[in-house]
Structure 1
């Protein structure tokens, strides 16, 4: 039982994420209180929020490393499978969720969407599930959307936090993510061993991961054409809103049209579905009055959006839908080619599916892939 105690469209995305990126700064030395993974609160999670089949669940508030490499709070959930833990403890899967919004009210542990039925497939195989909300979703500050390093830190520190309050968890763990979470899982895979050497990181599974967006940022501007990609204007609005909050020095407001200003105001409060309905036929080009090609913005974009193409020391499974309407397959194919050229330990698979469907289409291969990695 859990011990409760205190303790073309992608261009747009690229540019917005750029907003979230930051200029190089020295990380603040954490105090014992703000050490990554330190738990500040552990409470029960409403039963209606549980993953179907979970034996127990709790919500944790913990410290992590956020934008600008500064200490930041995050929240997340811990789910235990039924039965007694195996020798060495339950292996852990750290789940990185897809786009929900950037407002506190959109956090999965607030909306109840943290208990995704998809995760039952993993829970039933004997994995404990930990699921971060990410820094800024349910905690102070605006969530830095598609800030890969910040999200990866949240994913890793969620494992640390869960093990701090639950003795039945093994140090063996893997990252699993879809969409925004797929990007987070890939960045996690590149830094996990170095960032948390006391844990036994085994590998990662990422599906629908947006990649190569940092290379598209210079193309974003008022003449950007209407794209047939679902949610592209919403994603860019979230990116720009996060950038405006994280990097006031970039003065993002000077790039915005009146419609852009309205979109960013909505972005700070509306979750994805409401945001999509509220924007209606607003296009990416409608948001800005000039190209977002400032060198500082581009540098920020690369720092936050870029998925590493080297540095993976454990196996990674990367899945992509060929008819993905949100993350075009050509970008994933380019990433896979770069990873292969660099001889990285990545298994790449494609499926005749759209964005959300790829997660389930990849499940049989993902389960087998992970099963082989978690053996003691």
Structure 2
């Protein structure tokens, strides 16, 4: 699927002059069926923070066609930011940004928030986007399938599904601005870090009209069987953030297969909170669960359900060899993704034959690794743009 082909098959995009409510109306099945992945379906100006506005010539909210769980056509929303000034020869290099856990409900979509995250006092993603724009990269962000639209839910944390929405966002973004070039990177954090590791497996056949230069993965989750066992083993005092992640995973598992009951994943006292789980974004849900009496998080017999075992297996980010090099970044004080887990993942990626540059940052946490690693990240990307061979620590 080349960018030119996708653009050529597109109907004229609908530009919404109204508020969020109109923009996030889900398109008809007929509209989706007559378009190809990466087709731009709608766009409108996006209000952003002063910091982002100060380094952008355009900030645009987008809706585009992607591919669903059963290969059906779906709509996904996101955003496109173009740097200030004139584009270099060949256009601005593109960063496809893949965000961390935000929630599963409509209000949790990053494109609904001026700072790119539903928590107003969380500056990390805004800061990263602003620095990338300042350093001469267009930034394209996907909301992921299910986020943003009323009456839809995000298939958290389905790595393969998210990765396809990342690729299609780049194809769509180049229909928004002719200043965007063909060269691009995929950068992701947390949930998004797993998704971008799968991008390299798909990109050669699904975005052949673009030139993929590599993946930057910051604190990726992996080894989900161990995660499920960790949920099951948790005892008081219960970590509310861990309970929130388990609850979101239960929503994603049930979307994957209705034969997976919420109680197959969760302890009964957490499963009864699912109606609120579907509405509250990550910080809100964590605060709420911190005030709920929980004695357990997970179901120790989760593996008894074959569909749930399949679901857990497909979440793994190391499934096949990447067509581009990988920069794998991890803080050694990360309490969400242990450094030992990412070190194990690094070995698996190396065994697949990937070119991996693995770096650990002393003192960096799950979130602060974004700023701690930025100098290395931008240097690594500059070297790829200049055609230097990617280093490997394998």
1:272 corresponds to which residue?
282
1:220–1:292 Cα contact (<8 Å) kept = no
SS at match of 1:320: strand
SS at match of 2:245: helix
SS at match of 1:286: coil
Q: CA deviation at 1:136?
A: 0.6
Structure-2 change in CA distance of 1:371 and 1:351 (3 Å): same
Higher relative contact order by CA 8 Å / sep ≥ 6: 1 or 2? Answer: 1
SS at match of 1:40: strand
2:165 corresponds to which residue?
154
SS at match of 1:62: strand
Q: CA deviation at 1:308?
A: 1.6
Q: Which of 114, 138, 153 matches 1:112?
A: 114
1:132 corresponds to which residue?
142
Following TM superposition, the consecutive aligned residue runs of length 4 or more in structure 1 with deviations greater than 4 angstroms are: 226-230, 253-258, 281-285, 287-290
Within-5 A mapping of 1:64-143:
64-114=66-116, 116-139=126-149, 141-143=152-154
Structure-2 change in CA distance of 1:285 and 1:374 (3 Å): farther
2:256–2:311 Cα contact (<8 Å) kept = no
Instruction: State the TM-score, normalizing by the size of structure 1.
Output: 0.85
1:50–1:79 Cα contact (<8 Å) kept = no
Structure-2 change in CA distance of 1:257 and 1:362 (3 Å): closer
2:96–2:186 Cα contact (<8 Å) kept = yes
1:45 corresponds to which residue?
46
SS at match of 2:367: helix
The 1-side partners of 2:182 and 2:87 are apart by 13
2:302 corresponds to which residue?
292
1:20 corresponds to which residue?
none
Q: CA deviation at 1:165?
A: 2.4
Gaps in structure 1 of 5+ consecutive residues: 8-27
Determine whether 1:334 maps to 2:344.
Answer: yes
Instruction: State the TM-score, normalizing by the size of structure 2.
Output: 0.82
The 2-side partners of 1:163 and 1:37 are apart by 9
Gaps in structure 2 of 5+ consecutive residues: 1-11, 15-28, 117-124, 388-394
SS at match of 2:195: helix
Q: Which of 239, 243, 246 matches 1:233?
A: 243
Structure-2 change in CA distance of 1:126 and 1:227 (3 Å): farther
1:203 corresponds to which residue?
214
Residue correspondences, number: 349
1:183 corresponds to which residue?
194
Alignment RMSD: 2.5
Q: CA deviation at 1:262?
A: 2.9
1:15 corresponds to which residue?
none
User: Which deviates the most, 123-132 or 192-201?
Assistant: 192-201
1:324 corresponds to which residue?
334
Q: Deviations over 1:159-213 (max 9, x none)?
A: 0111122111111111011111111111112222222112111101111111112
1:244–1:253 Cα contact (<8 Å) kept = no
2:383 corresponds to which residue?
372
The 2-side partners of 1:50 and 1:70 are apart by 38
The 2-side partners of 1:125 and 1:280 are apart by 40
